[in-house]
Amino acid sequence: MDFFDRFAVPHPSVAIYASMAAIGLTVIAVIAGITYFKKWGYLWREWLTTVDHKRIGIMYLLSALLMLFRGGVDAIMMRAQLAVPENTLLDAQHYNEIFTTHGIVMILFMAMPFIMFFMNFVVPLQIGARDVAFPRLNALSFWLFFMGAMLFNISFVVGGSPDAGWTSYFPLAGNEFSTSVGTNYYMIAIQIAGIGTLMTGINFITTILKMRAPGMTLMKMPMFTWSALIANVIIVFAFPVLAVLLAMGTLDRQFGTQFFTMDNGGMDMLWANLFWVWGHPEVYILILPAFGIYSEIISTFARRNLYGYKSMVGSMVIISLLSFLVWAHHFFTMGQGALTNSIFSITTMAIAVPTGVKIFNWLLTLRKGKIVFTTPMLYSMLFIPLFTLGGVTGVMLAMSAADYQYHNTMFLVAHFHNVIIPGVVYAMLAGLHYYWPKMFGFMLNEKIGKWTAWLLSIGFVLAFMPMYASGLDGQARRMYTYSEAAGFGLLNMISFVGAAIMAIGFVLIVYNIYYSTRYESRDISNDPWDARTLEWSTHTPVPEYNFAILPEVRSNEALWDAKKNGHVLFKGEYEKIHMPNNSGIPFIMSCIFFVWGFSFIFSLWIPVIVTTLGIFGCMALRSFEQDHGRYISVKEIEETETNLRGA
């Protein structure tokens, strides 16, 4: 039995047993359902083996929404625990696990795939390409991310979740203080997902640089494509640091090295430094594409071109450079001295300048416009004031001497939620509403959508503004409880109410999807928002080859040009189209990665060796495989086009 003991959860509770049962039943129900409806073949042919960027994008979206709810449940549990002093809803261990998984799930398994969804779905369409540069690699990226995320999530019911914070600082996360396998999950699951992200980075840089439509020079790219390009450049520079860091952490925990240990010359702050060398650029990987989405939406619904295109691009380039020069502001209190702190204080504040330029450009885009309040626009208009609040508190945190008082407190927690929720999450929800018709051929209900945006914003203000105050009153972050005398009770109760309102907002999003699927009209045009860029110039739903004829472009608003200035986008005759073949290898290889990761986490070396061979086998198979793709004939194209036009 000793062998099986390791898989037990070290600190079980009723909630965990209930989740085990729920997860088990759901899996059985899903398998039974697919079998009953005879969908295995469909699932395999159309989704598991697909290399189509649009379908991969949609799978990213589904994963992100799933993880949003996992992370959201964590959040509401934390707020409930802290709503009253000396609450006993959760004990310290559970609270620690929950805030750790909340952070990792929300950043790496919710926000990242959401961004990946937009890049996958939108970028090839926006640059007039038929797919990404390496479609099969793209499928592998997705499946590695997905398996990493699933592996991380089973930690909850097998072996125990990590509990050292999403930053996983050593030596707390080392063997000395974290004896369960929880932190192994952290190291391995994020590693697997991270490899996928790194490949995405290379894939999209190549796609954007090499596959743009004729006439689309770099300075004629739509703003979202620019933001995706820069985010992917950051990925390629930042994610190798994460890979090395996680490998070092794994070596420390499982192979007895001493990089971050307390004895034998280990340096605990080395982890913190490397973590933030990756971690700070990471937040810009999330926020820059979000800025790109806002740029598209604001310009579309102000019915005007984006103001200051060049300065928008320039500011993103500057932000990407500065993002690598500020990491030490995450630990001004390490004792590195006044000089070092001063340097990082100034570089951090400097980021406010290009970010401010972007805010003012958006405001000036509204000027002389003809503003239409759709749901995506409403989210964008709520983003500007709320994000500004988060931005200015960021400048406050950048003042290193004052940061000694903010650091590790709820003030900091309030700040980063204040930038990430209005900055990234609103962009995703705005983008979801915006691109939904292109994906599925019907709109999401506008009325429910606007209600959701307002509820989320009211909830957001109630949930996070009090934290600024409680932080200044001495409430450290990550405390699972506090005494009545501390006086944080009222503020935390308001936070809880806010979190509950936000929860209603998120449930409304699901309801909106359900409602719109049933009742919204299918009779919409290819360009329901009267937008300006290429992704709206093709049919809805988008045919697998995206564009029957590759568009020609002469400005950064190609479709607008075509609509208003008589520019002809599609010239010439149909020609046969070269498309990549589907492949099962990315999925199978990622499944092997999953088993590899699981075995590695529990130090089961024989399966680790077998699966390692399997992974290399898949790579070898790919190397020797002759697959030159396939052609879609002119006749097929004509048929598809006629059908879509008729629809």
Partner 1 sequence: MQKKKTKWVLYSVVITIFTFLTGCEPLLVLDPKGPQAERQASDILMSIGLMSFIVIVVFSLLIYMLVKYRASKQSADYEPPHIEGNIWVEVIMVGIPVIIVAFLSYVSVQSNYIVEAKPKGYEDTKPLVVYASSSDWKWHFSYPEEGIETVNYLYIPTDRALEFRLYTYGPITSFWIPQLGGQKYAMSDMVTTLHLAADDPGEFMGRNANFSGKGFAENTFNVTAMSQEDFDDWVKEVKETAKPITEKKFEELLEPGHLGQQTYTGTHLEFSPPPTGHNHSEESSESHETENQPDSHTGHEGMSH
The size of the interface with partner 1 (CB under 8 A), counted in residues, is 96
Nearer to partner 1, 50 or 380 (CB): 380
Name the β-bridge partners of 577.
Answer: 632
Is 360 near partner 1 (CB under 8 A)? Answer: yes
Segment (H or E) for 316: helix 309-322
Rg of the chain over Cα atoms, rounded to whole angstroms, equals 25
How far is CA 46 from each of CA 42, 52, 190, 578, rounded to the nearest angstrom?
A: 6, 9, 27, 19
Residues 102-121 that bind partner 1 (CB under 8 A): none
Q: At its nearest, how many Å lie between partner 1 and the CB of residue 259?
A: 12
Nearer to partner 1, 337 or 572 (CB): 337
Name the β-bridge partners of 579.
Answer: 630
Question: 424, 422, 449: which is closest to 436 by C-alpha?
Answer: 449
Q: At its nearest, how many Å lie between partner 1 and the CB of residue 595?
A: 31
Identified binder of partner 1 from the candidate list 19, 73, 243, 303, rule CB under 8 A: 303
* Structure tokens that stand for 6 in this block: 């390791």
Residues 310-349 that bind partner 1 (CB under 8 A): 310-311, 331, 333-342, 345-346, 349
Nearer to partner 1, 176 or 627 (CB): 176
Is 620 near partner 1 (CB under 8 A)? Answer: no
* 339 close to 290: Cβ distance less than 8 angstroms: no
* Structure tokens that stand for 261 in this block: 């240990």
- Quick one: three-class SS letters along 242-301? HHHHHHHHHHHHHCCCCCCCCCCCCCHHHHHHHHHHHHHHHHHHHHHHHHHHHHHHHHHH
User: How far is residue 456's CA from residue 508's CA, in Å, rounded to a whole number?
Assistant: 10
Longest dimension (CA), the chain: 78
Residues 453-472 that bind partner 1 (CB under 8 A): 466, 469-470, 472
Residues 223-252 that bind partner 1 (CB under 8 A): none
Question: 512, 507, 466: which is closest to 490 by C-alpha?
Answer: 466
Per-residue contact track with partner 1, 368 to 407, x per CB under 8 A?
xxxxxx-------x--xx--xx--xx-xx-xxxxxxxx-x
Residues 271-290 that bind partner 1 (CB under 8 A): 272
Is 220 near partner 1 (CB under 8 A)? Answer: no
- Find where tokens 């075509």 sit: 562
Is 87 near partner 1 (CB under 8 A)? Answer: no
Is 528 near partner 1 (CB under 8 A)? Answer: no
Nearer to partner 1, 138 or 492 (CB): 492
Is 169 near partner 1 (CB under 8 A)? Answer: yes
Is 165 near partner 1 (CB under 8 A)? Answer: yes
User: How far is residue 448's CA from residue 520's CA, in Å, rounded to a whole number?
Assistant: 12
Is 43 near partner 1 (CB under 8 A)? Answer: no
Q: At its nearest, how many Å lie between partner 1 and the CB of residue 210?
A: 28
* 234 close to 323: Cβ distance less than 8 angstroms: yes
Q: At its nearest, how many Å lie between partner 1 and the CB of residue 106?
A: 17
Is 408 near partner 1 (CB under 8 A)? Answer: yes
Residues 473-512 that bind partner 1 (CB under 8 A): 473-474, 476-482, 487, 490-491
Nearer to partner 1, 403 or 552 (CB): 403
